[in-house]
Amino acid sequence: MTEIGNFLTCTVDTNYDDDRRHTSIGRCLPHMEIKIVDNNGTVVPIGSEGEIWVRGYSIMSCYDNDRERTAEMITDDRWLRTGDLARMDDDGYLFFIGRKKEMIIRGATNIYPIEIERVILEHPSVADVQVFSIPDPLVDEVVCAFVKLKPETKCEVDELKMFLSDKLTSYKIPEHIRFVDDFTRNVMGKVAKYKLTEDMINILNSS
C-alpha cells in the first residue's frame, strides 16, 4: 500500500529451509515494526489471526488536508492500520489471510474469501474466481462466487459444489455461484468487490 512508502517484509534465500516459509509473505525488514492486533488494537497471541499494524521511518505522516482520514488510519503513537489480516508465527513470518473489509461473517464465524478462492481455482475448468458475500437475515452474510471458466471448458454449479465438498467445510461452500465472462471493475481496472455484491443481488432478484 502506498501509505507505507516502501517494502515492509521480505523472505531471502537463506530462509527457505522450512517449507512453511514458502507460503508466507516474509519477515519484517530492519527499521520497521509489525504487530498483529485484534479489533481493540491489542496484540494477539503468536499464531492468532488479526490485523497488520506497521510503524517505521517510511510510513506517511498524514493525508494532505484530511485530518479525519488520517486519524482513521494512523494511531497517536504512529501505528498504521493496514486493513490486511494475517497471522505471525514464532519466527516472525507473516501469513496473509485477506483484507479485513472483505471478511465474511456468517453467524459467529469469520470466513476469508482468499481461502475459498484458492480451492475453487484447483478445479481444472476454472480460470478465475471472486468470492464475496451478500446480506442474509438469518446468518448475517452468505458466501457467493462469480466464476470464469477456461476457454472451451464446461462446468455446472452442482459439479463445482461437489468438488468443493471434499475440500471445504459446508458453511464455506458458496451458496450462490454464477459463471461470468468477467467481473465488474472500477476505473482503475481492479475488481470492485462491492459491485459484485450488488450484481449478485440483482441476479437473484430477477430470477
Q: What is the pLDDT of residues 104-130, one digit of tens each?
A: 999 989 999 999 999 999 999 999 999
CA angle 196, 4, 74 (to 5 degrees): 85
In three-state secondary structure terms, 207 is coil
Same domain, 110 and 174: yes
Q: Which of 53, 71, 52, 51 is nearest to 61 (CA)?
A: 71
Same domain, 22 and 89: yes
Domain boundary among the residues 42, 63, 98 is at 98
Q: Is residue 158 part of a domain?
A: yes
Query: Which helix (H) or strand (E) segment is 198 a member of?
Result: helix 193-206
Same domain, 39 and 91: yes
Same domain, 88 and 124: no
Domain with 66 in it: what CATH number? 2.30.38.10
User: What is the reported pLDDT for 159?
Assistant: 97
User: What is the reported pLDDT for 168?
Assistant: 97
Same domain, 197 and 110: yes
Q: How far apart are alpha carbons 96 and 88 in whole angstroms?
A: 9
Same domain, 94 and 110: no
Same domain, 109 and 200: yes
Query: Which helix (H) or strand (E) segment is 37 a member of?
Result: strand 32-37
Q: Is residue 123 part of a domain?
A: yes
Q: Is residue 3 part of a domain?
A: no
Same domain, 115 and 94: no
Same domain, 109 and 91: no
Same domain, 94 and 107: no
In order along its 207 residues, the chain shows pLDDT tens digits of: 677 767 788 876 555 556 666 788 888 888 899 999 999 999 999 999 999 999 988 888 888 889 898 898 899 999 999 999 999 998 899 999 888 888 999 998 999 999 999 999 999 999 999 999 999 999 999 999 999 999 999 999 999 999 999 999 999 999 999 999 999 998 888 898 889 999 999 999 997
Question: CA dist 30 to 14, 61, 153, Å?
Answer: 16, 19, 48
For 127-180, give the DSSP string: EEEEEEEEEETTTEEEEEEEEEEPTT----HHHHHHHHHTTS-GGGS-SEEEE-
Same domain, 52 and 143: no
Q: Is residue 145 part of a domain?
A: yes
Same domain, 202 and 117: yes
Q: How far apart are alpha carbons 35 and 45 in whole angstroms?
A: 10
Domain with 187 in it: what CATH number? 3.30.300.30
Q: Is residue 150 part of a domain?
A: yes
For 46-86, give the DSSP string: TT-EEEEEEEETTS----TT-HHHHHHHB-TT--EEEEEEE
The whole domain housing 29 covers 9-98
| Nearby residues of 27 by Cβ (< 8 Å), 6 or more positions away | 9, 10, 11, 15, 91, 92, 93, 94
Strand-strand pairing, 176-179 and 140-149? parallel
Q: How far apart are alpha carbons 24 and 26 in whole angstroms?
A: 5
State the cell numbers at 16.
Answer: 527457505
Cell 459444489 maps to which residue?
A: 161
Q: How far apart are alpha carbons 185 and 97 in whole angstroms?
A: 22
Q: Is residue 1 part of a domain?
A: no
Structural domain count of the chain:
2
pTM of the predicted model, to two decimals? 0.77
